[in-house]
């Protein structure tokens, strides 16, 4: 049974198309795949807890210069400066609600200018990411992002502010599928041994996509919504 399960997982048998797509793409942890794809959320006992790849903070550049053309130019110019200064401050920029796209000088126009909550005011919103792991904790990543946001110079009446709470991101969550499955099957074997010879334990749901949830300031929990079924042997 274990050989069959691993063969199916390695080949991607019966996996939704999106599950296979997320072997390398970066996703925001708070934007759960459950919410995006209408999968029933059922948090199991066994998963994989690990440090996220990035701490992610939304930022907004606002401008309220009276002339619309000048206002837009000031916001765009400040956004360009933000991109130029990112590497120097050890951060990366991105945009997207679920799957993140790197924000670079080549795709600045893909970040749209929208109306703000005041007349004659507009804004652009994007994400600042600080890497996690090693000596980079969630607290140090937050300080790094805050220092970067303060360092980007204002242009005219355009200014940049941090917006809301930070979140996390993970690159390629589906690459951890086999590691999660190994932990699930090890747990199933341990339960079967405890139950004794009169019972068997089967696993359902390992063909489901990898899901994720936040598990701390800098940690995520990756899991597959499997179920263990204990049945008496005939």
Domains assigned to the chain: 2-51+171-228 (no CATH), 54-170 (3.30.70.2690)
C-beta separation of 44 from 221 below 8 A: no
Chain centre distance of CA 108: 21
pLDDT value of position 29: 87
Q: Measure the CA–CA gap between 75 and 73, rounded to whole angstroms.
A: 6
Q: What is the CA radius of gyration of the chain?
A: 22
Reading the block at residue 53, the tokens are 């790849």
pLDDT value of position 234: 77
Which residue's structure tokens are 């400040």? Answer: 78
pLDDT value of position 42: 60
CA angle 45, 47, 53 (to 5 degrees): 145
Region of residue 163 (left: phi > 0; alpha: psi -120 to 50; beta: else) = beta
Q: How many other CB atoms are found less than 10 A from the CB of residue 62?
A: 21
pTM exceeding 0.85: no
Q: Measure the CA–CA gap between 228 and 201, rounded to whole angstroms.
A: 7
Under 8 Å CB-to-CB from 133, ≥6 apart: which residues? 51, 53
Q: Which residues of the chain have pLDDT under 50?
A: 1-20, 31-32, 34-40
C-beta separation of 78 from 60 below 8 A: no
Reading the block at residue 19, the tokens are 């599950």
Chain centre distance of CA 176: 14
pLDDT value of position 21: 60
pLDDT value of position 19: 41
Instruction: Provide the angle, in degrees to the nearest 10, between the axes of the packed helices 68-86 and 138-151.
Output: 130
pLDDT value of position 30: 66
String of DSSP letters for 7-63? HHHHHTTT--HHHHHTTT-EEETTS-HHHHHTPPP---S--EEEE-SEEEEEEEEEE
Which residue's structure tokens are 């110079």? Answer: 153
Q: Measure the CA–CA gap between 129 and 127, rounded to whole angstroms.
A: 6
């Amino acid at each position: 049974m274990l050989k069959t399960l691993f063969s199916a997982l390695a080949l991607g048998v019966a996996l939704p198309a999106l599950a296979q797509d997320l072997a390398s793409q970066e996703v925001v942890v708070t934007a759960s795949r459950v919410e995006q794809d209408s999968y029933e959320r059922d948090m199991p006992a066994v998963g994989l807890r690990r440090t996220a790849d990035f701490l992610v903070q939304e930022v907004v550049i606002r401008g309220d210069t009276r002339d619309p053309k000048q206002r837009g130019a000031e916001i765009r110019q400040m956004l360009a400066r933000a991109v130029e200064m990112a590497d120097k401050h050890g951060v990366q920029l991105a945009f997207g609600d679920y799957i993140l796209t790197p924000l670079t000088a080549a795709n600045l126009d893909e970040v749209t200018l929208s109306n703000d909550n005041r007349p004659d005011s507009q804004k652009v919103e994007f994400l600042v990411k600080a890497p996690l792991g090693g000596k980079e904790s969630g607290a140090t990543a937050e300080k790094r992002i805050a220092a970067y946001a303060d360092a980007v110079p204002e242009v005219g009446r355009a200014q940049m502010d941090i917006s809301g709470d930070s979140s996390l991101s993970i690159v390629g969550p589906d690459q951890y599928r086999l590691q999660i499955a190994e932990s699930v099957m090890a747990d199933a074997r341990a339960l079967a041994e405890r139950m004794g010879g009169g019972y068997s334990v089967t696993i359902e749901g390992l063909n489901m996509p990898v899901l994720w949830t936040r598990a701390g300031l800098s940690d995520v929990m990756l899991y597959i919504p499997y179920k263990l079924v204990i049945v008496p042997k005939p």
